[in-house]
Structure 1
Amino acid sequence: MTIAAAQLFGTSLWFSANSAADDLARTWGLTAANIGMLTAAVQSGFILGTLVFALFGLADRFSASRIFCLSALLGAAFNAWFACLSGDFSAAIGLRFAVGVCLAGIYPIGMKLIISWAPERAGAALALLVGMLTLGTALPHGLRIVAAQWPWQYVMAGSSFLACIAAAMVIHLGNGSHLPVRRQEGPNPGNPLHAFRDRQFRAVAVGYFGHMWELYAFWTVLPMLVARSSLPSLFEVQGVSALAFSITGVGAVGCVFGGLLTRWVGSAHVALSALAISGACCLLLPFAAESLSPGWLLLFFLIWGAAVVADSPQFSALAAKACPPALVGGALAIQNSIGFALTVGSIALVSTLLGDLGMRTSWILLPGPIVGILGFLLLRRSPR
């Protein structure tokens, strides 16, 4: 629970700028595409960070708790710098990129930490961890609701404060005993790319990549989709923030519920079912937005919000089981890096085309679930 709570607080840095999108649009004259660029900058920084961790074996050589702590503190500093000192969009892009680099030491390292404490319950444990990541993603919207009258800078600074708490929690807890630390002078744990030689790992990776094409682009444009729908009429004050918090945050319930289901049906079935449900939502959103009442449309979005991330911990658990223990940290890091590289493209597409396509923007996300499901099934069944 300590690692999961730290993940919640640490990953609140991820979408802290999106919670201030309306204020930034007014202050700096930003468009939906510009907001998408801020998110893409975080993703790009995360990609660089995970590549560095993977290619240099840092995730498998040094203390995971220390990496997490240092990353959370640096991420908090860059986020606070954005909130308090950045004066234009160009500086903001650089600072959000730096936050993304730091998140590479929080999210995948958090997965390694929780596996080191409970390897026999990897599916359920990672479900809880990704649930906390999801709540962390929603948390800035929640802070915006609570602090509706505060300047946007205070809301972002609140995320930095939470990240500092996360650092203190993890450094106090330390590492689990099941993934021993390798010192810098020790033997090289191996090339994490070798994990892709295993067809099971490749199958999981393709499913994960399809999931990633959809997930972060959905989270990025969700407030803008909600604002263009009939849903804000359900809330008189802070309607978009409240709805974005609810729809994103319900993903934590989806992760935990999916983790419980793995006791009976296994991680692969949970992951593919969630990916199929979210893919159906991508397809049906334009029709649902036109035909459903606000109440039913909210239920539609809540189902999508729960399903869109429920497959993530199960793909990570399957990947961890499919590669050698000495490569777990690096293999997960490089899988995350490739997955997040895909999110840069999907975020750019949906944020740029949202103004022209409206609700049909969801169709841009649909190839992710389709390729993820078909690729996973075909690769898993193919001969060596």
Structure 2
Amino acid sequence: MKPKPHILPVIIASQFACTSLWFAGNAIVGELATKTGLGPEIIGYVLSSVQFGFIIGTLAFGLFMVADRFSPSRVFLVCSVLAALCNFCLLAENLSKWTLLLARFGTGFFLAGIYPVGMKIAADYYREGLGRALGYLVGALVLGTAFPYFVGGTSTGGDFTRVIQTTSVLSLTGGFALWALVPNGPYRKPSARLNLGAGPLLFKLPAYRQAAFGYFGHMWELYAFWAFTPLAVTTYNNLSGSGMPVSLVTGTVIALGGLSCVLGGWVSLRAGSRNVAVVSLAVSGLLCILSPLLFAFPLPLFLMGWLLWGMAVTADSPQFSNLIAASVPPELKGTALTLVNCIGFAISILSIETVSVLVQNYNPSYAFIILALGPLFGLLHIGRKHVSDKPSKPD
């Protein structure tokens, strides 16, 4: 059954709108530091609190099989509204450190009902060509992540409250649009009962375990790279005397990752999701190792290297999601995607805090080398002879 033409564009637009909340705090981190009195450590705190909220949210959603037991579109709507309300809390006149962290935690918690649930909805509509559909969907997530930086880098973003207002309204709009225009998909197979042990049992499936471990390596690198790209641009400006606009360069680096997700999705139709993931991990891992050299290059070469890295670091994400969704029974797709998101984002907190410590105590231009551990780990698992993607049932 071919989905109606509007289905995928609505899912993509809604995913973009709602995930714009993700980096809304990081895009205005300087202003938040002034309001709360925090120092440079706020970079790690602001993003890690979102990631931690997302982890707890995905753990709860996965444990209770929310996306598999209830209408995914309704779950998406409720979470988009609650995430927007948490984001609005950043506009509080007397914003304390704990209000800031709790607001970002709440945003992350409800994003757990947006990002993986959006992928679940796509999987309910697209059996063939899911890798391409997820390429568009994760591309929308990446563009949503970049959007606050673009707002902050324009004259409109001179007032930092505009970033919060814009992303919150976008989230509300995206949630209602998806709920109103995208009903349950034809391939949705809801779980009839709650099975608290279903998630952990999935790791007994070799194909699922292999794809999940590859994804975990990818996540060690991705969010730390995004979080500290503004610092990398600032560091290069200080070393070279160049005047690159930090917000706009950061937004461009992240946004190009959205383009690579789409391109990777199309390539996967011919080359396969696994091959796209392997090449992406290899290129981004090499750039991790070579990153100190980029800071010594002329401005055009630094930009080219960082932009290429921004594309390579994301191109494998939708393909891992495709491999994961293909390796489990239909009634457990939502749980499977949510569970690997939970673990993957827990890993991202460790990498963000690790890089945060390194940049505070050592030369920031060397801090990105540690991220190479992720692609290496991923390649060791996904690079082996691939297990069949056909879904099977856990023991």
2:177 is equivalent to residue 169 of structure 1: yes
Residues 5-26 of structure 1: per-residue CA shift (max 9 Å, x gap): 1000100110000100122233
* Contact 2:189/2:330 (<8 A) preserved: no
Alignment-mate amino acid for residue 105 of structure 1: G
| SS of residue in 2 equivalent to 1:323 | coil
The residue that corresponds to 1:306 in the other structure is 311
2:271 is equivalent to residue 262 of structure 1: no
The residue that corresponds to 1:297 in the other structure is 302
| SS of residue in 2 equivalent to 1:120 | coil
Using the alignment, how far apart are the partners of 1:180 and 1:323 within structure 2?
A: 12
* Contact 1:80/1:160 (<8 A) preserved: yes
Residues 253-291 of structure 1: per-residue CA shift (max 9 Å, x gap): 11011011112110000011001111111111101211x
Amino-acid identity (%) = 38
Offset, 1:364: 1.6
**Normalised TM-score (structure 2):** 0.91
How do 1:136-215 residues align onto structure 2 when only pairs under 5 Å count? 136-148=144-156, 150-173=158-181, 174-182=183-191, 186-188=192-194, 191-215=198-222
Using the alignment, how far apart are the partners of 1:325 and 1:275 within structure 2?
A: 28
* Contact 1:199/1:379 (<8 A) preserved: no
Offset, 1:188: 3.9
Q: Return the match for 1:375 from 369, 381, 386.
A: 381
Offset, 1:196: 1.1
1:120 to 1:97, Cα distance in 2 relative to 1, 3 A: same
Bigger mean CA offset, 327-336 vs 18-27: 18-27
2:224 is equivalent to residue 217 of structure 1: yes
Using the alignment, how far apart are the partners of 1:123 and 1:85 within structure 2?
A: 45
Residues 42-69 of structure 1: per-residue CA shift (max 9 Å, x gap): 1111011111111111110000000000
Offset, 1:152: 1.2
Using the alignment, how far apart are the partners of 2:351 and 2:13 within structure 1?
A: 29
**Normalised TM-score (structure 1):** 0.94
Q: Return the match for 1:319 from 303, 316, 324.
A: 324
* Contact 1:18/1:35 (<8 A) preserved: yes
More helix by share: 1
The residue that corresponds to 1:283 in the other structure is 289
* Contact 1:203/1:379 (<8 A) preserved: no
2:238 is equivalent to residue 226 of structure 1: no
* Contact 2:57/2:110 (<8 A) preserved: yes
Aligned length: 376
| SS of residue in 1 equivalent to 2:41 | helix
1:368 to 1:91, Cα distance in 2 relative to 1, 3 A: same
Residues 312-348 of structure 1: per-residue CA shift (max 9 Å, x gap): 0000000100111111000111111010110111111
Using the alignment, how far apart are the partners of 1:180 and 1:235 within structure 2?
A: 54
* Contact 2:190/2:331 (<8 A) preserved: no
Using the alignment, how far apart are the partners of 1:181 and 1:169 within structure 2?
A: 22
2:242 is equivalent to residue 240 of structure 1: no
| SS of residue in 2 equivalent to 1:178 | coil
1:165 to 1:212, Cα distance in 2 relative to 1, 3 A: same
* Contact 1:195/1:324 (<8 A) preserved: no
Q: Return the match for 2:358 from 347, 353, 357.
A: 353
- RMSD over aligned Cα atoms: 1.9
The residue that corresponds to 1:132 in the other structure is 140
Residues 214-258 of structure 1: per-residue CA shift (max 9 Å, x gap): 00111111111111114996656xx00110010010001110110
